[in-house]
Structure 1
Amino acid sequence: MVHGVSELISEREKGSANTILDELQIDLERRVEVALHPLIWPEFVANTQDRCYFCKKRMYQSFLRSLEKLEIQVLLDGSNVDDLKSSRPGFRAIHELGIRTPLLDSGLNKDDIRTLASEFHLSNCSKPSNSCLATRLPAGVQITQEYLNAVEKYEDFLLSRDFTGCRARPEGRDMVLELSGIDGNRLLTSSMRIEIIHFFQSEGFSRVLIDLIPRR
């Protein structure tokens, strides 16, 4: 099992990954941890529309080099059918490097995978989908450690108020919140709204906007 560690992953996500490895009973000697440093990749920090392609290619090349030392020749990617519904530049890197996609090839979507995870009693069976912290920044905004730390702080605040699966997307002086359907309803009918507005205003944002397309 290959586990990539970098500045793009929040501390809570790192902890969650280790929990799943424990639940899958992956022995320590079978875990390959690869340290990645995307903030020194100029084509990545430029944050163009192809950011995910550059990142995934560098990342999987690092994985393949580590696995080659262990005489392992096949690397599997966890993409699923639902990933085909949106633009995914990273797929180009997957195809170029010959990475296998068993979940996608089997026609499984997110709901199917959550059902299987539940059958195997994995704690992430109902966990909302997530992506790296860099995906919160608009294209063209240079990716820095300060930006990543800020996004993690914003989302930790929302999580501390039980807004699970939330994403905080800073866009200039505006903070755009992407929430699940249930969380969106709770925000609009609760005094929590005032607390959230005050928090983001204290962080320098003039407006707090809600993405009306709920997350799955």
Structure 2
Amino acid sequence: ALAFSGGADSTLLAYLAKEAGADVLAITYDNQIFPTGFLEFAKRRTSELGIRHEIIENNFLDVGDVVENTPQRCLVCRRLMYGAIKQRAFDEGYEIIIDGNNVTDLTHDRPGILMKYEFEIESPFIEAELETPEIHKFLDENNIEYSNSTTCLATRVKTNEIVTIDKVNRIDHCEGYVKEITGSDVVKLREEKNVATIELSDLDTILDKEKIDPIVQELKLSQYDKILLNLKAIESDDELILDDELEKGANNLTLRKRLPFGINILETDRILKNKENDHISNIETIEDIGYIKLHIDEKESRIFRDGKISIKNNKNKKDAKESLVNILPYIRRTV
């Protein structure tokens, strides 16, 4: 059974499962606060792929932690989603549940990913050590259609600001309008204290007065006090390691990466010691200082409570990436 949103990852899993002749059930969870067209797209793609499709509906605007928009919101959301998907799968006779999480997702600030472990959801792309750019490349080269609009609209509202149906509808309408005017593949509108910040995957599509003026007018009509533009484009194909994260030594490179979340070093220590892994050895946790010493592929490494990871003695960028990929699935974040 596949947790299916119609996005790149779950679409490729559905495609591959069908190609492999697997008996796959796609399950889509509709929390009532996804962008317009989300559910219709999921229905159409599963039909085109010839895959059985089930839909679970639940209005998350009736869920306190989601409405109050606490830092725990994504954990609550994913707990409800995965719990319901797992139950539906079991009810339909499916014992294996998979999702589209990939290695790149392990480096993003998405706390809901913790629920994958709690509900024992398998992630084939993590097992296969695949990254977002590789998945997008395969989809594009094989002309496999997927949706770029599969993220919950509640995530657009600043944490601790109340989420209401009026805010969700306004964000949905304005994102759709900006997307129509600009033609940008991905548009997100962030809302904080009635200020709208527009983010796009292609900034060139909006940098035109004939486009900016109607967008400002429409968003003002939607009762936003101020409209801002984020000058950093949305990047869906970000690299796992950036060049400036590699520090040159005399004969090797040291990777110094900072993850955008804290690390639960005690839980990470427990996971590391309970799993057999030929790449990892010499694990020692220094709790009072807040880091784990270990060897990854025989390289001296550190994992710090504040999210920093260091891996020494890498031959090149590819070598550093391979070692990072070998440790990421074992890291457990704090929320």
TM-score > 0.5 by shorter chain: yes
What residue in structure 2 maps to residue 18 of structure 1? 43
1:95 aligned to 2:114?
Answer: no
State the identity as a percent: 22
CA-CA distance at 1:212 after TM superposition: 1.9
Amino acid at match of 1:154: C
Q: Which runs of 4+ in 1 moved over 4 A?
A: none
Amino acid at match of 1:52: C
Higher relative contact order (CA 8 A, sep 6+): 1
1:206 aligned to 2:228?
Answer: no
1:121 aligned to 2:121?
Answer: no
Alignment of 1:186-205 (within 5 A): 186-205=205-224
- The count of residues paired between Structure 1 and Structure 2 equals 209
Amino acid at match of 1:122: I
Amino acid at match of 1:25: G
CA-CA distance at 1:190 after TM superposition: 4.0
Evaluate the alpha carbon distance shift between residue 41 and residue 211 of structure 1 in structure 2; reply closer, same or farther with a 3 A threshold: same
CA-CA distance at 1:163 after TM superposition: 3.0
Greater percentage in strand: 2
Evaluate the alpha carbon distance shift between residue 120 and residue 23 of structure 1 in structure 2; reply closer, same or farther with a 3 A threshold: farther
Evaluate the alpha carbon distance shift between residue 2 and residue 113 of structure 1 in structure 2; reply closer, same or farther with a 3 A threshold: same
CA-CA distance at 1:137 after TM superposition: 0.5
1:83 aligned to 2:105?
Answer: yes
CA-CA distance at 1:97 after TM superposition: 1.0
CA-CA distance at 1:119 after TM superposition: 4.7
Greater alpha carbon shift after TM alignment, 75-84 vs 110-119: 110-119
The structure whose Rg is larger is: 2
CA-CA distance at 1:11 after TM superposition: 2.5
- Distance (Å, rounded) in 2 between the aligned partners of 1:211 and 1:197: 14
Q: What's the secondary structure of 1:57's corresponding residue?
A: helix
What residue in structure 1 maps to residue 56 of structure 2? 34
CA RMSD of aligned residues (A): 1.7
1:169 aligned to 2:190?
Answer: yes
CA-CA distance at 1:85 after TM superposition: 2.4
Evaluate the alpha carbon distance shift between residue 86 and residue 129 of structure 1 in structure 2; reply closer, same or farther with a 3 A threshold: farther
1:185 aligned to 2:207?
Answer: no
Q: Deviations over 1:159-210 (max 9, x none)?
A: 2212331011122232100111x2x123223421111111112222232111
Q: What's the secondary structure of 1:176's corresponding residue?
A: strand
Amino acid at match of 2:143: H
What residue in structure 1 maps to residue 20 of structure 2? none
- Distance (Å, rounded) in 2 between the aligned partners of 1:130 and 1:210: 22
Evaluate the alpha carbon distance shift between residue 34 and residue 112 of structure 1 in structure 2; reply closer, same or farther with a 3 A threshold: same
Greater percentage in helix: 1
Is the contact made by 1:5 and 1:33 (CA closer than 8 Å) also made in structure 2? yes
Q: Deviations over 1:81-121 (max 9, x none)?
A: 22122211111111111111111221112221122223543
Amino acid at match of 1:112: E
1:61 aligned to 2:115?
Answer: no
Amino acid at match of 2:233: P
Alignment of 1:42-61 (within 5 A): 42-61=64-83
- Give the gaps of 5 or more residues in structure 2: 1-25, 236-335
Q: Deviations over 1:22-69 (max 9, x none)?
A: 23221xxx2121112222221222211121111001111011111111
Is the contact made by 1:39 and 1:45 (CA closer than 8 Å) also made in structure 2? yes
- Distance (Å, rounded) in 2 between the aligned partners of 1:24 and 1:80: 22
Greater alpha carbon shift after TM alignment, 51-60 vs 200-209: 200-209
Evaluate the alpha carbon distance shift between residue 130 and residue 31 of structure 1 in structure 2; reply closer, same or farther with a 3 A threshold: closer
Amino acid at match of 2:206: L
Amino acid at match of 1:58: L
1:72 aligned to 2:94?
Answer: yes
